[in-house]
C-alpha cells in the first residue's frame, strides 16, 4: 500500500511536482534536435586539493557529497558554481535506477552534480526557485569495470549508514567522476526531481555513461538506510529515483548527430524572433499564410502523454524507498508574493520566482474555496512563460497556450482571426496524423488546456521568506 508521502502524492503538498517542465524525462529520438552551436562542457577547479575536506552525508533520500563554490561551469550563459553531488540508484536485485532514460532504457544509477547561478544569486538557497537558478550535470552510470574515482568516497560509505549521519572525507579530482568526453550531451529545461520540484534547472545529461563495478553498486544499494540509527524498524535506502515525466512540448537539444537517423536541427533564433514579433505586432492572416502550424508541437506520439499523475492508477506503483521518504512541507503562511497571472513577467524582464507564484496562486484560490485547483492554476500560469523562454532559446516547441498568451491585448477581431487560423492549422494536422497513425494524440496537438482559474485576480504584497526545505537536485 502506498503511503501518502509517496511520489504520486507529492503534488498535494508541493504543487509544482504536478506542474510544467518536470524532470526527469525519457530522451526519445523524436524529441531530439541537433544544435551545432552547443559547446563542449568546460568545468573549472574540479581538481580539488587533497588537503581540503568534503562532507559526505546520508540525508535519508540519497548519498550527498558537498562541493566548494570555487568549482564552476564556464561554458554556460552564466557562471554556475558547484554546491553538491548526489546519486539515484536501483536495488541489489534491480540494476535499474537512473532517473533519465534513453529511448526507454534505464541505467543502473545516475549522479547529479548540482550548480547554482552565482552571477545572479548569492547562494543555492536563493537560486533554488528562480527559473535560471540551477544547472545540473547528469551522469548515467552502468555496471562494468571498477571505477577508482568513485571509490575515493564510496569506501567511506559505512560511516553514513543511517539518515543524518555525516563524515569528513579528503578531496580529490571531481572531474574523474565525469565521462572522458564532455562534448556529447542532452540539454533541456527541467526541474528538481525531488520536492519542491521547482522547474529551475538547466539540465546537461552526458550521452556516454560511466561504469562502476557490481561491488561498488552494491555499496550504494545495500549499505544504507533511509531511517535514523535509533529507529526500531530500519528502512533500506534504495530505488530513490523519480519516474519519467511528461515532455510538455519541450524538445531536447543535443550536441551530437552521429548514429541518429531523422534527427532535426533547431530552428534559427532569427526565424523564431520573426514569428514571435508577428504574433505580437504583425498581421495574423499573413502569419497563417506563412504556416502557423510551424508554431505548434510536432505531432509525434509521445510515450506516456496520457499518463498525467492525477489520472494514472499505476502512477503510485514505484519503488518502496521513494514511497516512504519524508519531505518537509513548506509552511503555508510564511511565503512572500510576487506578481503572476495578468502581471506575469515577460521574457527578458524580471525573474520568475516559483515560490512566490505558488503562494500567490494558493492565496487567491483559498478566497474562492478552490484549493484543489492549485496544481492546474500554477501550470496555467507557469507553462506559457517557460515555454516561450525555452522556445526563444531553441529548446522547445511553442505550445498553443503560449501562442494565445502572446496575443493577449490585441484587438478582439485579431484574436478571433488567430483562433480561426489555429483551428484550421490544427485540423490540417489532425487529419494528417489520423492518416499516418490512425489516432490523433490530442495532448501533443493542443497542448495543455487552460486551467479553470479565477479571473480578475487582485494580488497582494510581500510575505516573509519561507523556511528552508530539503531537496536533492
Give the rounded distance of the alpha carbon of 226 from its chain centre.
Answer: 24
Instruction: Kindly name the residue from 61, 112, 131, 448 that is annotated as catalytic.
Output: 61
Give the end of a domain, one of 203, 219, 252.
252
Distance CA 339, CA 333 (A): 17
Q: Is residue 243 part of a domain?
A: yes
Task: Average the pLDDT over 49-78 and give the result.
Answer: 96
Q: Is residue 258 part of a domain?
A: no
Whether residue 38 is found in the same domain as residue 125: yes
At 364-414, the pLDDT tens digits run 998 888 888 999 999 999 999 999 999 999 898 888 888 878 877 677 777
What is the structure's pLDDT at 434?
75
Give the rounded distance of the alpha carbon of 163 from its chain centre.
Answer: 26
What is the structure's pLDDT at 322?
42
What is the structure's pLDDT at 85?
98
Give the end of a domain, one of 225, 252, 279.
252
Greater pLDDT, 27 or 462: 27
Please tell me the pTM assigned to this model. Answer: 0.81
Has residue 457 got a pLDDT over 60? no
Whether residue 401 is found in the same domain as residue 318: yes
Whether residue 242 is found in the same domain as residue 273: no
Whether residue 203 is found in the same domain as residue 273: no
Q: Is residue 470 part of a domain?
A: no
What is the structure's pLDDT at 465?
36
Q: Is residue 459 part of a domain?
A: no
Q: Is residue 247 part of a domain?
A: yes
Task: Average the pLDDT over 451-458 and give the result.
Answer: 36
Under DSSP, is residue 56 helix (H, G, I), strand (E, B) or coil?
strand
Q: Are 394 and 272 in contact (CB under 8 A)?
A: yes
Q: Which residues are CB-contacts of 268 (< 8 A; sequence separation ≥ 6)?
A: none
What does the CA dihedral 378, 379, 381, 385 come to, rounded to 10 degrees? 130
Greater pLDDT, 42 or 472: 42
Distance CA 459, CA 363 (A): 9
Q: Is residue 261 part of a domain?
A: no
Has residue 209 got a pLDDT over 60? yes
Greater pLDDT, 15 or 281: 15
Whether residue 290 is found in the same domain as residue 151: no
Whether residue 59 is found in the same domain as residue 126: yes
What is the structure's pLDDT at 280?
78
Whether residue 16 is found in the same domain as residue 90: yes
Give the confidence band of 433 by pLDDT, cuts at 50, 70, 90. low
Question: How many structural domains compose the chain?
Answer: 2
Has residue 324 got a pLDDT over 60? no
For 77, other C-beta atoms within 10 Å of its C-beta total 11
Has residue 186 got a pLDDT over 50? yes
What is the structure's pLDDT at 54?
97
Distance CA 219, CA 161 (A): 10
Q: Is residue 294 part of a domain?
A: yes
At 80-105, the pLDDT tens digits run 999 999 999 999 988 999 999 999 99
Greater pLDDT, 318 or 105: 105
Whether residue 248 is found in the same domain as residue 353: no
What is the structure's pLDDT at 187?
98
Q: Is residue 260 part of a domain?
A: no
Beta strands in 4-104 (DSSP E): 26-27, 32-34, 43-44, 53-58, 63-66, 72-73, 80-89, 101-102
Task: Average the pLDDT over 333-341 and give the result.
Answer: 32
Has residue 277 got a pLDDT over 80? yes
**DSSP H or E segment with residue 190:** strand 185-190
Q: Which residues are CB-contacts of 419 (< 8 A; sequence separation ≥ 6)?
A: none
Q: What percent of the chain has pLDDT over 90?
A: 56
What is the structure's pLDDT at 4?
40
Has residue 182 got a pLDDT over 90? yes
Task: Average the pLDDT over 283-305 and give the result.
Answer: 55
Whether residue 105 is found in the same domain as residue 232: yes
What does the CA dihedral 39, 131, 310, 295 come to, rounded to 10 degrees? -60
Place of cell 573549472: 44
Has residue 332 got a pLDDT over 60? no
Place of cell 562541493: 67
What is the structure's pLDDT at 273?
84
Has residue 65 got a pLDDT over 70? yes
What is the structure's pLDDT at 472?
62
439 an active-site residue? no
- Which among 366, 304, 362 is positioned nearest to 15, based on CA atoms? 362
Whether residue 78 is found in the same domain as residue 114: yes
Q: What percent of the chain has pLDDT over 70?
A: 75
Has residue 429 got a pLDDT over 90? no
Whether residue 245 is found in the same domain as residue 280: no
Mean pLDDT, all residues of the chain? 80
Distance CA 121, CA 116 (A): 8
| Measured CA distances, 214 to 94, 103, 109, 135, 152 (Å) | 12, 24, 12, 29, 16
Under DSSP, is residue 88 helix (H, G, I), strand (E, B) or coil?
strand
What is the structure's pLDDT at 288?
60
Dihedral-angle region of residue 126 (phi above 0 means left; psi in -120 to 50 means alpha; beta otherwise):
alpha
What is the structure's pLDDT at 6?
81
What is the structure's pLDDT at 420?
74
What is the structure's pLDDT at 290?
57
Full domain range(s) for residue 49: 7-252
Has residue 303 got a pLDDT over 90? no
Kindly report the CATH number assigned to the domain that includes residue 198: 3.10.200.10
Whether residue 29 is found in the same domain as residue 151: yes
What is the structure's pLDDT at 300?
44
- φ, ψ for residue 135, nearest 5 deg: -135, 125
Greater pLDDT, 443 or 189: 189
Give the confidence band of 259 by pLDDT, cuts at 50, 70, 90. confident
Amino acid at each position: 500500500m502506498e503511503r501518502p508521502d509517496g511520489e504520486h502524492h507529492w503534488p498535494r503538498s508541493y504543487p509544482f511536482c504536478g506542474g510544467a517542465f518536470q524532470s526527469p524525462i525519457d530522451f526519445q529520438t523524436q524529441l531530439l534536435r541537433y544544435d551545432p552551436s552547443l559547446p563542449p562542457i568546460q568545468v573549472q577547479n574540479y581538481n580539488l586539493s587533497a588537503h581540503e575536506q568534503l562532507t559526505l552525508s546520508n540525508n535519508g533520500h540519497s548519498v550527498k557529497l558537498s562541493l566548494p563554490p570555487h568549482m564552476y561551469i564556464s561554458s554556460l550563459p552564466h557562471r554556475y558554481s558547484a554546491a553538491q553531488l548526489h546519486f539515484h540508484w536501483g536495488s541489489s536485485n534491480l540494476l535499474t535506477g537512473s532517473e533519465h532514460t534513453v529511448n526507454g532504457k534505464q541505467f543502473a544509477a545516475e549522479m547529479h552534480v548540482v550548480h547554482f547561478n552565482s552571477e545572479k544569486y548569492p547562494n543555492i538557497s536563493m537560486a533554488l526557485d528562480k527559473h535560471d537558478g540551477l544547472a545540473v550535470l547528469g551522469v548515467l552510470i552502468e555496471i562494468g569495470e571498477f571505477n577508482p574515482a568513485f571509490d575515493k568516497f564510496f569506501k567511506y560509505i559505512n560511516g553514513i549508514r543511517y539518515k543524518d549521519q555525516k563524515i569528513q572525507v579528503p578531496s580529490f579530482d571531481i572531474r574523474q567522476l565525469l565521462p572522458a568526453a564532455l562534448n556529447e550531451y542532452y540539454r533541456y529545461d527541467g526541474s528538481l526531481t525531488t520536492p519542491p520540484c521547482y522547474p529551475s534547472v538547466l539540465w546537461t545529461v552526458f550521452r556516454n555513461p560511466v561504469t562502476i563495478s557490481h561491488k561498488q553498486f552494491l555499496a550504494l544499494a545495500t549499505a544504507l538506510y533511509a531511517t535514523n540509527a535509533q529507529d526500531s524498524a530500519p528502512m533500506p535506502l534504495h530505488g530513490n529515483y523519480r519516474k519519467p515525466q511528461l515532455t510538455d512540448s519541450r524538445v531536447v537539444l543535443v550536441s551530437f548527430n552521429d548514429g541518429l537517423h531523422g534527427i532535426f536541427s533547431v530552428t534559427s533564433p532569427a526565424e523564431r524572433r520573426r514569428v514571435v514579433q508577428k504574433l505580437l505586432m504583425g498581421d495574423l492572416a499573413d502569419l497563417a499564410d506563412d504556416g502557423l502550424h510551424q508554431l505548434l508541437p510536432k505531432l509525434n506520439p509521445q510515450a506516456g502523454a496520457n499518463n498525467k499523475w492525477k489520472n494514472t492508477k499505476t502512477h503510485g506503483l514505484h519503488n518502496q524507498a521513494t514511497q516512504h521518504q519524508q519531505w518537509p512541507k513548506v509552511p503555508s503562511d510564511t511565503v512572500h508574493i510576487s506578481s503572476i497571472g495578468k502581471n506575469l513577467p515577460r521574457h527578458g524582464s524580471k525573474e520568475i520566482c516559483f515560490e512566490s507564484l505558488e503562494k500567490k496562486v494558493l492565496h487567491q484560490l483559498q478566497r474562492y474555496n478552490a484549493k484543489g485547483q492549485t496544481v492546474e492554476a500554477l501550470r496555467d500560469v507557469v507553462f506559457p512563460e517557460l515555454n516561450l523562454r525555452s522556445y526563444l532559446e531553441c529548446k522547445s516547441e511553442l505550445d498553443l497556450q503560449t501562442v494565445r498568451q502572446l496575443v493577449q491585448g490585441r484587438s478582439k477581431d485579431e484574436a478571433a482571426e488567430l483562433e480561426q487560423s489555429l483551428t484550421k492549422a490544427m485540423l490540417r494536422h489532425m487529419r494528417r496524423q489520423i492518416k499516418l497513425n490512425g489516432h490523433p494524440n490530442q495532448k501533443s496537438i493542443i497542448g495543455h488546456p487552460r486551467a479553470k482559474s479565477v479571473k480578475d485576480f487582485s494580488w497582494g504584497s510581500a510575505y516573509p521568506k519561507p523556511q528552508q526545505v530539503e531537496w536533492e537536485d
